[in-house]
Amino acid sequence: MADAQGPEIKLPDPVELSRAMARIAEQSQKLVSDFLARQAESAASPGSPDPANIGSAFLEMTARMMADPAKLMQAQLSLWQDYMTLWQRTTARLMGQDAEPVIRPTKEDRRFKDSAWDENALFDYIKQSYLLTARWLQSTVHGVDGLDAHTARKVDFYTRQFVDAMAPSNFAMTNPEVLRTTLETGGENLVKGLENLLGDLERGKGQLAISMTDYKKFEVGKNIAVTPGKVVFQNAMMQLIQYAPTTEQQFRRPLLIVPPWINKFYILDLRPQNSLVKWLTDQGHTVFVISWVNPDESLAEKTWDDYMTEGPLAAFDAIEQATGERELNVIGYCIGGTLLSSTLAYLSATTGTERIKSAMYLVTLVDFQEPGELSVFIDEEQLRMLEEKMAQEGYLNGQTMSVTFNMLRANDLIWSFVVNNYLLGKDPFPFDLLYWNSDTTRMPRAMHSFYLRNMYQKNLLVQPGGISIKGVPIDLRKIEVPTFMLSTREDHIAPWKSTYAATQLYSGPVKFVLAASGHIAGVVNPPSAEKYSHFLNPKCPKDPEQWLTGSKQVPGSWWPDYAKWVAKYAGGKVPARVPGTGGLPAIEEAPGSYVKVRSTD
Residues identified as active-site? 334
CB-based contacts of 221: which residues, under 8 Å, 6+ apart? Answer: 589, 590, 591, 596
Phi-psi sector, 239: left (phi>0), alpha (psi -120 to 50), beta:
beta
- Are 58 and 162 in contact, with CB atoms under 8 Å apart? no
Measure the CA–CA gap between 167 and 412, rounded to whole angstroms: 13
Measure the CA–CA gap between 307 and 259, rounded to whole angstroms: 12
Count Cα atoms within 13 angstroms, Cβ side, for 454. 19
Among residues 204, 262, 261, which one has the least CA distance to residue 237? 261
Among residues 480, 486, 455, which one has the least CA distance to residue 559? 486
Amino acid letter, residue 504: Q
- Are 307 and 261 in contact, with CB atoms under 8 Å apart? yes
The CA distances from residue 27 to 32, 420, 439, 463, in Å, are 9, 21, 25, 55
Angle between helix 121-142 and 149-165 (nearest 10): 170
- Count of CB atoms situated within 10 Å of the CB of 550: 12
DSSP bridge partners of 574? 250
Among residues 289, 600, 222, which one has the least CA distance to residue 439? 600
Query: How do 287-292 and 255-258 pair as beta strands?
Result: parallel
Count Cα atoms within 13 angstroms, Cβ side, for 342. 32
CA dihedral 509, 514, 519, 524 (to 10 degrees): -90
CB-based contacts of 437: which residues, under 8 Å, 6+ apart? Answer: 212, 263, 402, 413
- Are 353 and 342 in contact, with CB atoms under 8 Å apart? no
Rg (CA), the chain: 27
